């Protein structure tokens, strides 16, 4: 019988996804993870920085099987840069372009895939229009600093580090979660949010969500997402925000990390399914599920 201890290691810590905050998030809650993933893990720990993680991997974790799960995209980047093997992997040069919103849409443009996104506007575009647009910083998170205005109101300086994007009308918005293994989707679903009006910003405090349902995504959507992600050879989770406009996908947000919705207690089953799928993908890389891995170069 193999007695190797199997440990889920959350790398990085995001206080807004912790049960100790008023947001009610419970990403790191240990008991349900151990209960529902007992076939895969024996313990759950958190490591907040690379130094602590290396110390653990070379000490207490040396003879454990460690499933390292980064929390946010910069935690993924830190692990990639450090050469520490985790449940995420990617071609670094492409991953760096995924989490920068401006670079991501430039990459779509280079690959002739902008038909999957709303129209983009640049400083030299014809801006004499009252077309409604969204202006967001390249490194925006949680919609902080996002503004909605007419194209003819956008200032020159806003084009420097911001994405200026056509506003896509519609009262339904998909918050989609994809698990990848070497660029191929192994799990896909979405939280379909319904709103009380066609014009809204999801995270704005005045926005009213009228419905919230989990939906399964069809093969057409999965094929599009695999096409978008193909150069990255990505393994891990990536979340996409999009609307369907006349049946066509319009991607306006991508985050190569865990989806914040998975930290909500009412989505605990989905979080567990995502982690299980990540572990299964990780284990598929090895001849034996119980081979000892020290995760260090």
DSSP structure class, residue 287: S
Integer Cα distance of 68 and 64 in angstroms: 12
Q: What is 83-100 written as a DSSP string?
A: T---S-B--HHHHHHHSS
For residue 220, pLDDT beyond 80: yes
Q: What is the pLDDT of residue 19?
A: 66
Q: How high is the pLDDT of residue 287?
A: 44
Q: Which CATH superfamily does the domain covering 93-114+169-272 fall into?
A: ATP-grasp fold, B domain (3.30.470.20)
Q: Where are the domains of the chain?
A: 6-88, 93-114+169-272, 119-166
Are 173 and 202 spatial neighbours (Cβ–Cβ below 8 Å)?
yes
> Looking at residues 2-6, what average pLDDT do you find?
88
- For residue 202, give Cα distances in angstroms to 32, 92, 119, 197: 29, 30, 19, 11
For residue 200, the model assigns a pLDDT of: 72
Task: Specify the pLDDT at position 122.
Answer: 86
**pLDDT given at position 288:** 43
Per-residue pLDDT tens over the stretch 153-176 = 888 888 888 888 888 888 899 999
Q: Look-up: residue for tokens 């450090």?
A: 82
Tell me the whole-structure pTM to 2 decimals: 0.89
State pLDDT tens for residues 242-259: 999 888 999 988 999 998
Q: What is the CB neighbour count within 10 angstroms for residue 256?
A: 26
With both helix axes pointing from N to C terminus, report the angle between 50-57 and 73-82 in degrees, rounded to the nearest 10: 50
| pLDDT single digits (tens) 36-49 | 999 999 999 999 99
Q: Report the C-alpha gap between 273 and 251 in whole angstroms.
A: 24
DSSP-derived secondary structure letter, 8: E
Q: Are strands 162-166 and 209-216 parallel, antiparallel or unpaired?
A: unpaired
Query: Edge-to-edge strand order for the sheet containing 43-47?
Result: 43-47, 6-11, 65-70
The mean pLDDT value for 231-245 works out to 94
Query: pLDDT-based confidence at 291, cuts 50/70/90?
Result: low
Q: What residue ranges in the chain does DSSP mark as E strands?
A: 6-11, 43-47, 65-70, 120-121, 132-137, 147-150, 162-166, 172-181, 184-195, 209-216, 236-245, 248-255
Question: Is residue 185 predicted with pLDDT exceeding 70?
Answer: yes
């Amino acid at each position: 019988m193999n007695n190797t201890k199997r440990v889920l290691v959350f790398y990085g810590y995001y206080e807004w996804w912790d049960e100790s905050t008023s947001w009610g998030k419970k990403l790191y809650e240990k008991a349900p993870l151990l209960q529902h993933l007992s076939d895969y893990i024996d313990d759950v720990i958190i490591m907040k920085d690379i130094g602590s993680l290396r110390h653990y991997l070379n000490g207490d974790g040396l003879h454990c099987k460690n499933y390292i799960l980064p929390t946010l995209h910069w935690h993924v980047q830190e692990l990639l840069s450090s050469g520490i093997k985790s449940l995420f992997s990617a071609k670094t040069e492409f991953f760096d372009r995924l989490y920068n919103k401006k670079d991501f849409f430039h990459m779509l443009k280079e690959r002739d895939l902008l038909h999957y996104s709303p129209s983009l506007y640049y400083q030299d575009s014809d801006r004499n229009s009252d077309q409604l647009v969204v202006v967001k910083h390249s490194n925006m998170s949680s919609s902080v600093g996002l503004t909605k205005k007419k194209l003819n109101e956008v200032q020159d300086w806003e084009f420097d580090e911001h994405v200026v994007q056509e506003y896509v009308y519609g009262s339904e918005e998909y918050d989609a979660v994809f698990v990848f293994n070497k660029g191929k989707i192994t799990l896909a679903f979405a939280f379909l949010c319904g709103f009380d009006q066609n014009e809204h910003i999801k995270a704005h405090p005045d926005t009213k969500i009228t419905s919230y349902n989990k939906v399964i995504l069809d093969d057409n959507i999965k094929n599009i997402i695999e096409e978008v992600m193909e150069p990255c050879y990505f393994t891990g989770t990536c979340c996409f925000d999009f609307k369907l406009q006349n049946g066509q996908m319009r991607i306006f947000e991508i985050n190569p990390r865990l989806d914040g919705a998975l930290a909500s207690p009412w989505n605990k089953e989905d979080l567990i399914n995502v982690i299980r799928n990540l572990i299964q993908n990780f284990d598929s890389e090895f001849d034996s599920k119980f081979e000892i891995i020290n995760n260090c170069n």
